Amino acid sequence: MSRKHKVAIAGSGLAALATAARLHEQGVKEIAIYANGLGGTPYIAAINFVLPNNPYGDTPEQYAEDMLAAGYHIGNRELVTEMANATVRGYELLCRWGVTFAHNEDGTIKLRHVSGHKYPRSLCQTTDLIGAEIEKVMIPKLKEAGIEFHDRCQVVGLLTEGDKPGGKIEGFTVSENGGEPYNVYAPVVVAAWGGVGNLLGTSTYPDDVRGNTLGMAKQAGADLVDLEFIEFEPMVMMTPPGAVGEPCPTAMLGEGGTLLNSDGERFLLRVRPQGEAGAPKSLINHEIWKEVAAGKGNPHGGIWVDLRHIDEKVLKAYPWFYNRLVNNGCDPKKELLEVGPMPHSFSGGIKVDRNYESSVPGLYAVGEACGGIHGACRCAGNAASQATLSGLLCAEGILRTGELDREIAGQPVSVKRAQEAQEKFLPELQRIAAHALGVFRNGPDLEEALRGAHAILSDPEAAKDSLTVQTALAIHLIAKAALNRRESRGTHNRLDFPESSPEFEREFTL
């Protein structure tokens, strides 16, 4: 069995939906989406757009400057500028496909002020998560428009001309419902498969984002960028089991929440006497790490957040968070919550040009699958904006450069599967990655991770399974990028760099 399309999209998160929507608007037919879940999209609470006539005099230029500054000036200026300039068009695209946003009582659009931005420019829904709303309204409309959705399909390998890395893209191989893999042919493939997911063990990511896709892109010959920059969310629930991975919004600190160590001390006040509210995520991560290293952490490797004194009405205004806790037997009005940093999103990925095309002709990348925009640290709410805007710009880029009528000859399925290899190597790879690639890194651990991933890549047993090889490759690539970046910058912190270095001081001095 095989299938053929003009455009095959891997993933059905926001970036995929925005790409498909804009392609359809431009008259492209035979678009198909293959995905094994909804990714991080349903959990999106905040999405940023700079709208005309906003009350703050905000502009796309200011938005671009904020992104570049938050990213420690590593982001690609051309991509950032084009993304910021498209902000209104991205908002309008979502509106055209039925997405609605919360308004104030006076009828103006509700704008929240989130971390990294000069002005309030974060849109939301107050009854549900905006990401869940996007999936709910856009998927049925896209289906009605004739876009094919192939659910429960795992993309397991990319197809290139002559099976050569860097050759023109020819499609991908999928496994439907875990069954025998088959080939899907398309002259244009869009990687919309999200970020590094659970490569590092427990994270906020859902299970369908596994991160091996980075290795898959490398196998196809795609250039990659900014791989050392993994965003850690500082206050993620570590217990009870049903709530593990749920981020406690940092906005709770603005509502009066406090962070405590095992002595009951508000440790953040030592470095931030004005209080926890508004503290940058990198500072919170840093201080939590110090408490844990000093033996003052919770049993799960984090600290505690105290929300008991916050009015119940305020807590309930974050329904996804409050309900998840209560539904899992945890009452934030009565108990301290065990929270700590967990991997949350990825700023690196496939390197793209201004059409969002990679170095593999015909392979495009959008959303968290592509890198280069957020630089060393991303502004809050900007993953969702970037997913929307990269989708929009990529769809327009495909019209400019995609060879939509290119004929493809077909080739045998070449991915390999060996359950024993997965059972043997995947837990070890996760251990290696979690140990070396956390909030704080050091040269010896990174070198050990490189050696460990390399040993697995050289093992003939591992070579029998494509998922294992791709996972090892992804971890090897991230560890290599982290080892090469000697200085602490953004979300990448090196402990073997002297603490007194100006870079380190700049990051943690407020």
Q: Catalog residues that contact ligand FAD under the rule CB under 6 A.
A: 10-16, 34-41, 43-47, 153-155, 192-194, 204-205, 208-209, 213, 247, 344-345, 367-369, 381-384, 387
CB of 153 to ligand FAD, least distance (A): 6
322: Cβ contacts below 8 Å, ≥ 6 apart: 315, 316, 332
Nearer to ligand FAD, 157 or 332 (CB): 157
Give the nearest distance from C-beta 228 to ligand FAD in angstroms: 18
The smaller minimum CB distance to ligand FAD, of residues 41 and 285, is found at 41
Residue 8's DSSP bridge partners are 32, 189
Which C-beta is closer to ligand FAD: that of 247 or that of 361?
247
- Pick 182 or 497: Cβ nearer ligand FAD: 182
Listed in sequence order, the residues at least 6 apart from 149 whose beta carbon sits closer than 8 Å to its beta carbon are 12, 32, 33, 35, 139, 142, 143
Minimum distance from residue 42 beta carbon to ligand FAD (Å) = 8
How many Cβ atoms are within 10 Å of 483's Cβ, its own excluded?
Answer: 19
Alpha carbon distance 244, 202 (integer Å): 8
Shortest Cβ distance from residue 355 to ligand FAD (Å)? 17
Nearer to ligand FAD, 169 or 483 (CB): 169
CA angle 353, 356, 358 (to 5 degrees): 70
Partners of 258 in the beta sheet?
306
Least separation in angstroms between residue 174's CB and ligand FAD is: 7
Neighbouring residues of 316: CB distance < 8 A, sequence distance ≥ 6: 322
464 DSSP assignment: G
Nearer to ligand FAD, 15 or 479 (CB): 15
Q: Residue 11 or 490: which CB sits closer to ligand FAD?
A: 11
Q: Which residues contact 113 (CB under 8 A, 6 or more apart)?
A: 119, 120, 121, 122
The nearer residue to ligand FAD, 205 or 504, going by C-beta atoms, is 205
For the CB of residue 442, give the shortest distance to ligand FAD in the complex, in Å.
27
CA distance 469 to 471: 5
Secondary structure string (H, E, C) spanning 261-321? CCCCCCHHHHCCCCCCCCCCHHHHHHHHHHHHHCCCCCCCCCEEEECCCCCHHHHHCCHHH
Distance CA 100, CA 152 (A): 28
Residue 360: left if φ>0, alpha if ψ -120 to 50, beta else—which one? beta
Which lies closer to ligand FAD via its Cβ, residue 34 or residue 101? 34
**Nearest distance, CB of residue 285 and ligand FAD, angstroms:** 16
Place of tokens 């492209």: 28
Q: In the bound complex, what is the minimum distance in angstroms from residue 346's beta carbon to ligand FAD?
A: 8
Rounded to a whole number of angstroms, the minimum distance from the CB of residue 423 to ligand FAD is 19
Tell me, what amino acid is at 222?
A
- Cβ nearer to ligand FAD, comparing 28 with 209: 209
- Give ∠ CA 42-397-374 in degrees, rounded to 5: 50
State which H helix or E strand residue 160 sits in.
Answer: strand 153-160
Min CB(366)–ligand FAD separation in Å: 6
Task: Provide φ and ψ at 327, rounded to 5°.
Answer: -65, -15
